[in-house]
Chain A
Amino acid sequence: MSAVEKEVAAGRGSARAIAIASSLGRFLVIAITTYLGLLAVTFFIGRVIPIDPVLAVLGDRAPANVVERTRREMGLDLPLVEQFYIYVKNALNGNFGTSVLTTNPVMTDIRRALPATTELATLGTLIGALFGVPLGVLAAVRRGSLIDQIVRVIGLIGYSVPIFWLGLLALVLFYAKLQWVAFPARLDVVYEYTFTPITGFYLLDSLWQGQWDVFYDAFRHIILPASLLGYFSLAYISRMTRSFMLNELTQEYIVAARAKGLSETRIIWGHALRNAAVPMVTVIALSYAGLLEGSVLTETVFSWPGIGLYITNSLQNADMNAVLGGTIVIGSVFIAINLLSDLLYRVLDPRTKVR
């Protein structure tokens, strides 16, 4: 990318279109090789694990003749390379196979699971950024003070405590004892009949349909896992914000701004944070992408039918079509978010603007 930018910046304006096209081409080449590599690695790992995939489909009690027939039906008697070729060919035609666990086409399953994870991850990241950035800024400004210490401890706990343990603890406290939040699932039983989701984002869907009680219920279900994820991204974001801010606050333009007599608030929030915001975007985007991959443990503890749970379940059961499909989707999400944060980077940092 930066090579392209330099070229463009060098003033060969007429070549701009070509440069954009070539950067797009390069991106495509990278994306395709990434996908192929991802596919090949996942595919072959899936084939060498010491689990018989037929066992996943039929269980232990199927008679031998059914086992043999199923092995042929699944194409498992073919050479590995041929199996891979068939898989890639089908995938290019949009056919990612059928999950043996759910009997649905893999993409149908993922279309169900992805919104659940996205809703949780988005809320988690919002909470993390909303609290993490100001905390980090305060810690940097009052370096060494009590608040700095508190932020450090919060961060340390966030880094070091296993999430499933904290999740169970939170469940025991907020759900079992205090009954502030609802039970681990996406919705209460009663709404299973009255609510038909459109997009799969229950909070948005219920608002859109004006079903306030459903919205409230969905909120009571999501708030605890989202806060938990939020806390973990908060730990990361506040630490990073603090170090970025410390770096900015020692810069000469801060001294200059103080000499000009600007208010401290303006200097911190208007100048230093504005400059720190550029790397922050990458940090937050990466943290978001991490949550989107599906936080397996959180989803397990909270019975959240998201993509992390889906892939782990599939992996444990040698349901390789599901694992491969899930890997491709997550790979795409990762690439997309990286691209997006790259774009945001340019908007926020005038120096990277193409003149």
Chain B
Amino acid sequence: MMMEKFALRSRILLAGAAMSALLLAGAPAGAVTPADTLVEGFAIDDIISMDPGEAFELSTAEVTGNTYDLLVRLDLSDTSKVKGDLAESWTVSDDGLTYTFKLKPGLKFASGNPITAADVAWTFERVIKLDKSPAFIIGQFGISGDNVTEKAKAVDDSTFQFTVDKAYAPSFVLNCLSATVASVVDAKVVKEHIAAVTPSADYKWDNDFGNAWLKTGYAGSGVFKLREWRANEAVVLERNDNYYGEKAKLARVIYRNMKESSGQRLALEAGDIDVARNLEPNDLDAIAKNADLTTTSAPKGTVYYISLNQKNANLAKPEVRQAFKYLVDYDALSSTILKGIGEIHQTFLPKGVLGELDENPFKLDVAKAKELLAKAGLPDGFSVTMDVRTGQPTTGMAESIQQTLGQAGIKLEIIPGDGKQTLTKYRARNHDIYIGQWGQDYFDPNSNAQTFASNPDNSDAAKTKTLAWRNAWDIPDLTKQTEAALLEKDAGKRADMYKDLEKKILDTSPFVVIHQQLEVAGLRKNLKGFALGPSFDSNFVGPVSKE
């Protein structure tokens, strides 16, 4: 009997196999995100910490930029300058060593605690003593764990004083203070969550300055406050009603971790997200054609380049270095693989940075390249390898370059690999040619100049391993010139010094800089005020509203 019943039931199930899907599915979704919430689809799996003193990842920069305040911030109307954020004004002493900041009156953290100069001083202290990845941005001014309490101190509740070791260009110091690592933390809140640590040779202090807690916690004063970060899932922000400036229009912002461009596009079309952040050219195209959607883009401080390891005897010849610059089909790349996501840009300073040289002298010129190769004693070319991370745009770029190099007789073998794998090889200087990108550490020309145009010690055991070092390019003169540019007080003259450096790098370096990244986003048309900023920490969501 039981079995007969089962048989009957299973037959009904079978008969309705196709129908059941219909029944189960229910009514159409009519998906809309809540009116007071911005939902972004964004690959946020690079986030490893929310502590501004530790975080150095691009997605985290965006979150920190929206949830914390700084003394000074990049001026979006002229990105070669900064403007006051928490600081109302500042002065530089005549000897160029002491910077005195006056805080705006009545400032409050999201917690309700007042923002005082003591908070700023403690922020600097914890950054330096923790000594995490981005700490060098402040540490490079001669600040160490032993002197930080004197060099960065509160004179009174609203006056903060910062003393540097050399008379640097003020633009350099201020630009560095606008980096997310200098985000002011709520000392009172963080100190409640300090964990004890046993001092060791590597770490001299007896506590963790709240780092363990702040990895997922929040102690800021930005336009939004961080409600939650769930690794690989979501970041949730909520409006901070204590913010000193114009309050956020929406009550909350949710970044959902979505890795795939096609998945983001589907969700955007269906209305389940308001913004898609990691779109590839074909999905971007489709979104641009959709009447409910629109796209936006902004150049970011990231340049893509190929670099030639000078340990390879052929690549070390100056004529060969030069020939490579004539063997990239910049125009073809920009109209295909890079369409909408990159702008041809051959100098190492990205657009918008002080001293950027807007010159693209190189074009594909096989005849010229052959001439140069012949001069180098390699008229028939040679064989060489390139390490390429799988995925776009690097693979497409590498294939195009392989083809154009072939026209001049250079046989390029592409070695594909996972991103971290190719990078490991590159960092050990075991590559021939590497293709990759470099993002600025902070919004100042020194950030890129210091890595492309300086190499203090070319030995394998060097302490400073710049991009020039990674390619074994020994350049004592350029290194000196880069250092000199740091001490030029006049911003105009300083800019000229970088332009000169950029020209020399264009001519002689083993770097073939190809393009500057355009960050793109697809959005629903009912969004107002959404804009991508010039840096990863200036993609502000405060002004965004919905119709």
Q: Contact between B3 and A138 (Cβ–Cβ < 8 Å)?
A: no
Q: Contact between B7 and A269 (Cβ–Cβ < 8 Å)?
A: yes
Q: State whether the Cβ of A179 lies closer than 8 Å to any Cβ in chain B.
A: yes
Q: A176 — which chain B residues lie within 8 A by C-beta?
A: 266, 269-270
Q: Contact between A189 and B463 (Cβ–Cβ < 8 Å)?
A: no
Mark out the residues of chain B between 242 and 301 whose CB falls within 8 Å of any chain A CB in the assembled complex: 254, 256-260, 262-263, 266-267, 269-270, 272-273
Mark out the residues of chain A between 28 and 59 whose CB falls within 8 Å of any chain B CB in the assembled complex: 49-52, 55-59
Size range of the interface on B? 35 or more
Q: Contact between A183 and B267 (Cβ–Cβ < 8 Å)?
A: yes
Q: State whether the Cβ of B232 lies closer than 8 Å to any Cβ in chain A.
A: yes
Q: B266 — which chain A residues lie within 8 A by C-beta?
A: 171-172, 175-176, 183
Closest to B259 in A: A300
Q: Contact between B14 and A103 (Cβ–Cβ < 8 Å)?
A: no
Q: State whether the Cβ of A96 lies closer than 8 Å to any Cβ in chain B.
A: no
Q: State whether the Cβ of B423 lies closer than 8 Å to any Cβ in chain A.
A: yes
Q: State whether the Cβ of B492 lies closer than 8 Å to any Cβ in chain A.
A: no
Q: Which stretch in B31-39, B323-331, B535-543 binds the other chain?
A: B31-39
Q: Which stretch in A5-13, A62-70, A79-87 binds the other chain?
A: A62-70
Q: Contact between B464 and A64 (Cβ–Cβ < 8 Å)?
A: yes
Q: How many angstroms between the C-alpha atoms of A175 and B464 in the bound complex? A: 51
Q: B17 — which chain A residues lie within 8 A by C-beta?
A: 131
Q: Contact between B4 and A103 (Cβ–Cβ < 8 Å)?
A: no
Q: Which stretch in B18-26, B167-175, B356-364 binds the other chain?
A: B18-26
Mark out the residues of chain A between 133 and 147 whose CB falls within 8 Å of any chain B CB in the assembled complex: 133-135, 138
Residue of A130, A168, A179, A313 contacting most chain B CB atoms (<10 Å): A179
Q: State whether the Cβ of A266 lies closer than 8 Å to any Cβ in chain B.
A: yes
Q: B215 — which chain A residues lie within 8 A by C-beta?
A: 103
Q: B464 — which chain A residues lie within 8 A by C-beta?
A: 63-64
Q: State whether the Cβ of A223 lies closer than 8 Å to any Cβ in chain B.
A: yes
Nearest-Cβ distance from residue B442 to partner chain A, whole angstroms: 10
Q: Which residue of B34, B37, B263, B418 is within 8 Å of A316 (Cβ)?
A: B418
Closest to B30 in A: A179
Q: State whether the Cβ of B421 lies closer than 8 Å to any Cβ in chain A.
A: yes
Q: Which residue of B4, B21, B132, B427 is within 8 Å of A52 (Cβ)?
A: B427
Nearest-Cβ distance from residue A220 to partner chain B, whole angstroms: 7
Q: Contact between A101 and B25 (Cβ–Cβ < 8 Å)?
A: no
Q: Which residue of A61, A266, A309 is within 8 Å of B133 (Cβ)?
A: A61
Q: B199 — which chain A residues lie within 8 A by C-beta?
A: none
The verdict on A72 contacting B254 (CB below 8 Å), with A58-B133, A134-B10 known, is: no
Q: State whether the Cβ of B424 lies closer than 8 Å to any Cβ in chain A.
A: yes
Closest to A268 in B: B7
Q: B25 — which chain A residues lie within 8 A by C-beta?
A: 174, 178, 180-181, 220, 223
Mark out the residues of chain A between 198 and 230 whose CB falls within 8 Å of any chain B CB in the assembled complex: 216, 219-220, 223, 227
Q: How many angstroms between the C-alpha atoms of A266 and B6 in the bound complex? A: 11
Nearest-Cβ distance from residue B212 to partner chain A, whole angstroms: 9
Q: How many angstroms between the C-alpha atoms of A219 and B325 in the bound complex? A: 56
Q: State whether the Cβ of B62 lies closer than 8 Å to any Cβ in chain A.
A: no
Q: How many angstroms between the C-alpha atoms of A219 and B240 in the bound complex? A: 34
Q: A216 — which chain B residues lie within 8 A by C-beta?
A: 26
Q: How many angstroms between the C-alpha atoms of A58 and B136 in the bound complex? A: 14
Q: A192 — which chain B residues lie within 8 A by C-beta?
A: 234, 236, 254
The verdict on A52 contacting B39 (CB below 8 Å), with A63-B133, A172-B266, A184-B263 known, is: no
Q: Contact between A59 and B37 (Cβ–Cβ < 8 Å)?
A: no
Q: Contact between B29 and A223 (Cβ–Cβ < 8 Å)?
A: no
Q: State whether the Cβ of A104 lies closer than 8 Å to any Cβ in chain B.
A: yes
Closest to A174 in B: B25
- Extra A-B contacts (20), CB below 8 Å, given A55-B427, A182-B31, A192-B236: A51-B424, A58-B133, A60-B427, A63-B464, A64-B462, A66-B133, A102-B231, A130-B13, A175-B270, A176-B269, A179-B29, A179-B30, A179-B31, A183-B270, A183-B273, A189-B33, A219-B24, A300-B260, A301-B260, A313-B45
